[in-house]
Structure 1
Amino acid sequence: MSTLWAFPGQGAQQPGMLHGLPDAPVVRACLDQAGAVLDEPVLGLDSADALRDTRAVQLCLLIAGVACARLLLERGHRPDYVAGLSIGAYAAAVIAEALDFADALRLVALRGELMQRAYPSGYGMTAILGLDLSRIERLLEQVNSAAAPVYLANINADNQLVIAGSHTAMAQVAERARAMGAGAARPLAISVPSHCALLDAPAACLAEAFAQVEVRRPKVRYLSGSSARLILDADKLRDDLAYNMCRVVDWHSTLQTAVERGVRLHLELPPGTVLTGLARRVFSAGTVVAFQGTRLDSLDALLNQAEGLDR
């Protein structure tokens, strides 16, 4: 059966996430490489205080995902597909051998700085559960304004959506959503309004930096978390990575595409288990597992079985 390695996005971060990585030479080498490229001790990025900074969060997610994926690669495993939610796309591109890890580190550091600088306060993201897309879109039309902008940001499931914008506008949408029967409307641990037009300008700046970096055709099939389509071309991948910060994430459709293409084992790389919960709704006939909290020998057995069936 085909396998998908999925890399989580911002909001999945956890204090100590780099300190808690498996103690293996390939993981330590990954941490050392990141420290050398960034010219800073990367184990200082995952404290609760440090994770208040968008740059630190995004770097930790990249490093954790690449380190654990490299550990699995060293143990003889290889994904059939990779995909990443938002910043997770960078780790996916590294594992697909389309983007060098060193370049990814520099680009992600810049990405986080651009996003934080554009909206240092007063903005963020809110998850709304229990309402469908059409009703959320109607609420956004009612509330959105130049003074208090708010937009659709993520389609995580058919009834789990994320909005982005000013705190004032999001609070209005959340209040109206609850009145319409939403099960929950809660702010996320994200301090910038990602995946909407508010980040058009930072994305354009990042694209300029991407123009100076080599991006190659993926050696592993790469599914875009924005378009939910397979990307085979290097230039299209460059565009997908540079601009994903200002494009709606359609993770629900990405998972559906994976299932339609024969994926039956979904593995979530660290940190966390957020994507695993979302995948269970779609992979009803498959296997869904998170790296975090699963023994390595159990992961080996699952991946060996899937790879054996695929052959």
Structure 2
Amino acid sequence: MVKTAFLFPGQGSQFVGMGKNFYDSDPECRRMFEEADEILGDSISEVCFQGPEEKLKLTENTQPALLIHSIIALKRLRDHGINSVLAAGHSLGEFSALVCAGTLRFGDAVHLVRQRGRFMQEAVPVGVGAMAAIIGLSAEQVQQLCLSASSEDAIVQPANLNSPEQIVIAGHKEPVEAVSEKAREQGAKKVVALPVSAPFHCKLMEPAAMRLKAEMEKVEFKDASIPVITNVEAAPNNSGDKARELLFKQVCSPVRWTETMQCVIDQGVEAVVELGSGKVLSGLMKRFSKDIRCYQVGDEESLAKTVAELK
């Protein structure tokens, strides 16, 4: 069997219709959607399948929707006897990775990411914060620009270190715009303002982190059956207690995805499978390493193709 890692996407990968194919084709997948609807007290399945897109894009809906789709895709892949030696998830996807590793129960994770989405949305009034993707400058250059543009009450920080050339920044709107302009002047290939409702993974998220910590204290975190590479440390972790602590820190810390991809390679992995919506993480890995085989499972068709390749 090919030595495989499972990757779990974060916000931005959602789409109307996500998970519907699995729901229609597998009774157990249908039951998992019904369980999630019951936990959340509303029909997240309807939001996933029918939208509208604006409703699906609300952070409190996006986060559980992505986790549910990912874990259902994981269930279907495991139905075919394919498993992983480690897991990693981008931001919200770390919760999915912890479900994969047996640290979190599916139902607990669904509840926590709904709360996480609400807390993050409520932490900063709409219009106060912003995020932007800077392409073509190094992490060190972007970090320096952020330090130069920041003050005590005007914060901007690197939020997602997605690849050696793609850094997302987050913070107050004005310094984010100032860094974006400076990045263009310094020769960035592209700077894109992101259509997000809050500035994730920066100090402005501290109120959300504290509220999430209180919720996570009520939930059992078991030690993991396989290592999960965490966003905060970009290193494998098996401890349930440490997983909880790092999810708290993750809310205000950058997602160290470039180092996570290197960690996957250092573990001797031969293939990665992105589970759930979109192909963002498998696409980043393809560009990062030509030696890793990359697959994605989001419906029965992609499942069949991936199973055939890995077996």
TM-score of the superposed pair, with normalisation by structure 1: 0.93
Deviation of 1:188 (Å): 2.4
Match of 1:114 among 96, 100, 119: 119
Q: Could you say which residue in structure 2 is the equivalent of 1:221?
A: 227
Q: Could you say which residue in structure 2 is the equivalent of 1:10?
A: 11
The one-letter code of the counterpart of 1:183 is: K
Distance 1:193 1:72 in 2: 34
- State the Cα deviation string for residues 161-196 of structure 1 (Å, max 9, x = none): 010012222222111111111111112242211111
| Count of residue pairs the alignment pairs up | 304
Distance 1:203 1:147 in 2: 19
Determine if the alignment matches structure 1 residue 265 to structure 2 residue 297: no
Distance 1:246 1:103 in 2: 22
Runs of 4+ off more than 6 Å: none
Q: Could you say which residue in structure 2 is the equivalent of 1:25?
A: 27
| C-alpha contact (below 8 Å) 1:154/1:250 kept by paired residues | yes
Distance 1:30 1:80 in 2: 24
| C-alpha contact (below 8 Å) 2:232/2:249 kept by paired residues | no
> What is the root-mean-square deviation of aligned Cα atoms in Å?
1.6
- State the Cα deviation string for residues 34-71 of structure 1 (Å, max 9, x = none): 11211211123332121231101111111111111111
Q: Secondary structure at the match of 1:127?
A: strand
The one-letter code of the counterpart of 1:82 is: A
Match of 1:194 among 183, 196, 200: 200
Q: Secondary structure at the match of 1:201?
A: helix
Determine if the alignment matches structure 1 residue 291 to structure 2 residue 297: yes
Q: Secondary structure at the match of 2:12?
A: coil
Q: Could you say which residue in structure 2 is the equivalent of 1:88?
A: 93
The one-letter code of the counterpart of 1:4 is: A
TM-score of the superposed pair, with normalisation by structure 2: 0.93
Q: How much identity, in percent, do the aligned residues show? A: 32
Deviation of 1:242 (Å): 2.8
From the superposition, tell whether residues 233 and 244 of structure 1 become closer, same or farther in structure 2 (CA, over 3 Å). Answer: same
**What are the ranges of 5 or more consecutive residues in structure 1 without an aligned counterpart?**
305-311
Distance 1:180 1:301 in 2: 46
Distance 1:277 1:286 in 2: 11
Q: Could you say which residue in structure 1 is the equivalent of 2:44?
A: 42
Q: Could you say which residue in structure 1 is the equivalent of 2:167?
A: 161
Q: Could you say which residue in structure 1 is the equivalent of 2:74?
A: 69
Deviation of 1:147 (Å): 4.1
Determine if the alignment matches structure 1 residue 302 to structure 2 residue 309: yes
Deviation of 1:20 (Å): 4.9
Distance 1:150 1:167 in 2: 8
From the superposition, tell whether residues 242 and 26 of structure 1 become closer, same or farther in structure 2 (CA, over 3 Å). Answer: farther
Determine if the alignment matches structure 1 residue 138 to structure 2 residue 125: no
**What are the ranges of 5 or more consecutive residues in structure 2 without an aligned counterpart?**
none
Distance 2:140 2:204 in 1: 21
The one-letter code of the counterpart of 2:16 is: P
Deviation of 1:73 (Å): 1.2
- State the Cα deviation string for residues 99-123 of structure 1 (Å, max 9, x = none): 0111111111111111111123122
From the superposition, tell whether residues 65 and 189 of structure 1 become closer, same or farther in structure 2 (CA, over 3 Å). Answer: farther
The one-letter code of the counterpart of 2:263 is: T
